[in-house]
Amino acid sequence: MPRIISFLAFLSVILAPVGCLNKVDVNKDSVSDFNCLNNKFVEKVPNLPNIISSTTNCIDYKFDQKNLAYAIKLFVLEYSREFDVEESKIWSYFFGLEIESSVYPREVQAAYDSKGNYLEGNVPVSGLALSKDKIWVEIKTSDIYTSSLVHELVHVIIWNENLGVHGDPDHEGSNFSGWTKKHTKFIKKLNLMLQDLNI
């Protein structure tokens, strides 16, 4: 009898759900081509609180909506755990968020790198937090984890935590507040999780 009880206990541990996010249907490629003549230019990301996605150009590339939704849900779950923030609070920050994507790179006249160094001239960027409710992300491959999506979502959270004043553009630098080494480690960790999930 004790062996049966131990076996049942072992089974319950094996079969117990890990977290509350279930992987259901992931498309092989997390990116697809887009033509606004055949599709809606702005689309609501399914099963998320009023988050929309768009492309920079009429003919461009965008994230697969199901995979994008899954990546954002995973972000919220893991960020909540890592930084001890209620999931509902994070979702409130993302309410009305627009995620613009493009395969075409961008340059800005000035930017900070991840260590807080100020760069001037034609600075290439792979993502931009344009406001507390709009980000732009360059699509580099057919996977979300290779993009700066997770990085830009961290900016959105910090921007909202700073009451819309700034999203800490200098990252680990000392000119603005919010971003820490812990945020940088979180981004790497979450991108590895997305890579493992082929997203």
Write the DSSP assignment of 39-78 as a string of letters.
Answer: S-SEEEPTTSSS-EEEESSSEEEEE-HHHHHHHHHHHHHH
Per-residue pLDDT of the chain (199 residues; tens, 9 = 90+): 444 334 333 333 333 333 345 444 556 678 877 787 776 678 999 999 999 999 999 999 999 999 999 999 999 999 999 999 999 999 999 999 999 999 999 999 999 999 999 999 999 999 999 999 999 999 999 999 999 999 999 999 999 999 999 999 999 999 999 999 999 999 999 999 999 999 9
The CA distance from 186 to 68, in Å, is: 18
Which residues, 6 or more positions from 2, have their beta carbon under 8 angstroms from its beta carbon? Answer: none
> DSSP secondary-structure letter at 115?
T
Give 19's Cβ-side CA count (13 Å radius).
Answer: 11
Task: Collapse the DSSP code of 6 into the 3-class scheme (helix H, G, I; strand E, B; otherwise coil) and give the result.
Answer: helix
The CA distance from 60 to 139, in Å, is: 10
Task: Collapse the DSSP code of 11 into the 3-class scheme (helix H, G, I; strand E, B; otherwise coil) and give the result.
Answer: helix
Output the pLDDT for position 112.
94
The CA distance from 122 to 111, in Å, is: 9
Distances (CA, A) of 152 to 5, 11, 103, 155, 173: 48, 40, 16, 5, 17
Output the pLDDT for position 116.
93
The structure's pTM equals: 0.84
Lookup result for tokens 């996977």: 143
Output the pLDDT for position 21.
54
Output the pLDDT for position 42.
87
The CA distance from 111 to 160, in Å, is: 20
